[in-house]
Structure 1
Amino acid sequence: MREENKVYFKKLKMVRGKTQMRRIENATSRQVTFSKRRNGLLKKAFELSVLCDAEVALVIFSPRGKLYEFASSSMDGTIERYKNHVKEVQTESSTSVEDVQHLKQETASMEKKIEVLELSKRKLLGEGLGSSSIEELQEIENQLERSICIIRAQKMQVYNEQIEELRAKEKWLATQNAMLNKKCLVQTKEMIEERRANLQTVNFGESSDVETELFIGLPEKRFRQDRPK
């Protein structure tokens, strides 16, 4: 019998432990539950502020409109801090939303511009002209002519720049050629003078082989004596 009573009370305790989250219909039970849970909530708020060094403000109005509150520092200061925080969050949220909207508008505008440029590019290349009017075709032709004029002007400018570069290079080469010719003439002159000096030295050596014997009498006798008998 005792065992059965233990099982019964255990089941009863388990049933009581599961509180359904809905309004308590009985007024007396509702008031008792409010008092108990209110005190427990105020106690938890106090413990949270002390244990965690948190700024806590708790405001409770009973079903009859009676106020119960708890503040770890100052209720007015905490409420003002809460209002400022809400304003900052709302401002940041609205700013971010405006930024997103602005970016979306810019993206859509850029997409339209890209489409227009792509269409214009195809028409300039001679593609997709079937739906173009006479005025559009005339405008495309004028644009191409203006582009050709600009291209030709740029082409002539490039040609003139290349010609100037070639002229400057030609002038530099002419200067270098003149310097080389001058250097060549100097070297040639030095070689000629050196050869002349060598020839004079050789001639002087040959002239030194002349006989230096002394003869008395007329030259005819000398030549006669030199003739073989």
Structure 2
Amino acid sequence: MVRGKTQMKRIENATSRQVTFSKRRSGLLKKALELSVLCDVEVALIIFSSRGKLHQFSSSSMQSTIERYREHSKEDTSSTTMEQDAEQWKNEASFISKKIEVLEASKQKLLGEKLESCSLEELHELEGTIEQSLRSIRGRKHHLLSEKISQLKEKESSLVKENSLLREKCKLLPGLPSAASKEVVPSTNLDQHTEVETELRIGFPGRKTHGM
């Protein structure tokens, strides 16, 4: 009697599902053993039933096989990641290279070079861009000049105050002539206090002589 092809879907009947599991589990474990012996390979098989019961087979040590699998997975993951990163870096380098070419061409046009390929619309747009740049440059220049002038005015005011303080300190220093000492003393009139006798007298001093 020819057996029909088993459909790959969940067996709804619980008893049939359990019988099928037992048979196929035993066959799978037997095949794993045969593969490890006949081909001299390391085989590890782990099965959890629907009820959570563990069934396993290992040709050597289950723990060492799992560790070996983890190390191999790390290497594969690392290799895959490196390949993906290399591809990404390659794409980024290509994009940056194209962007540099565009910027270089734009810079040459702004400098007035290689304008032969520009259309009238492109030249008009380029002219507007340059004018806008000049307005920005002049605005920035005016701003810096205004700041410089303000700084110089503040410095001037500070110097004036400092000079005024120095003058006040000089007035208070001892030994320096003050304003009061610089006053001119009025000269005395000797004619008002001194009398000169011009009359001629003959005789001893102190005696009155009769006039001749």
* TM-score normalized with structure 2 length: 0.54
- Number of the residue aligned with 1:147: 133
| Aligned counterparts of 2:69 and 2:134: Cα–Cα separation in 1 | 67
Could you say which residue in structure 2 is the equivalent of 1:112?
98
Which amino acid counterpart does residue 129 of structure 1 have in structure 2?
L
Distance 1:69 1:112, change over 3 A: closer
Residues 178 and 107 (structure 1), Cα distance of their counterparts in 2 relative to 1, 3 Å cut: same
Q: 1:95 — aligned with what?
A: 81
Query: Where do 1:116-195 residues align within 5 Å?
Result: 116-184=102-170, 191-192=177-178, 193=180
Q: Separation in 2 of the partners of 1:126 and 1:86? A: 60
1:187 is displaced (CA, Å) by: 6.2
Q: For structure 1, which segment, 173-182 or 88-97, has the greater mean C-alpha deviation from structure 2 after superposition?
A: 173-182
1:97–1:189 Cα change, 3 Å: same
Give distance in 2, aligned partners of 1:169 and 1:68. Answer: 93
CA contact (8 A) 2:110 2:130 kept: yes
Percent sequence identity is 34
CA distance in structure 2 between the aligned counterparts of 1:68 and 1:190, rounded to whole angstroms: 116
Show CA shifts across 1:75-115 (max 9, x none).
44444333333222211111110000011111111111111
Give unpaired runs (5+ residues) of structure 2: 1-34, 44-58, 186-204, 207-212
Q: What is the distance in 2 between the residues matched to 1:190 and 1:60?
A: 119
The 3-state SS of whatever aligns with 2:155 is helix
In the alignment, residue 155 of structure 1 is paired with which amino acid? K
Letter in 1 for 2:93: T
Residue identity matched to 2:80: S
Give ranges in structure 1 of 5+ residues lacking alignment.
1-57, 62-66, 200-223
| Structure 1 residues 71-86: aligned runs within 5 Å | 74-86=60-72
Number of residue equivalences: 137
Query: In structure 2, how many angstroms separate the alpha carbons of the residues matched to 1:93 and 1:185?
Result: 87
- Structure having the higher helix fraction is 1
RMSD over aligned Cα, in angstroms? 3.4
How far did residue 135 of structure 1 move?
1.7
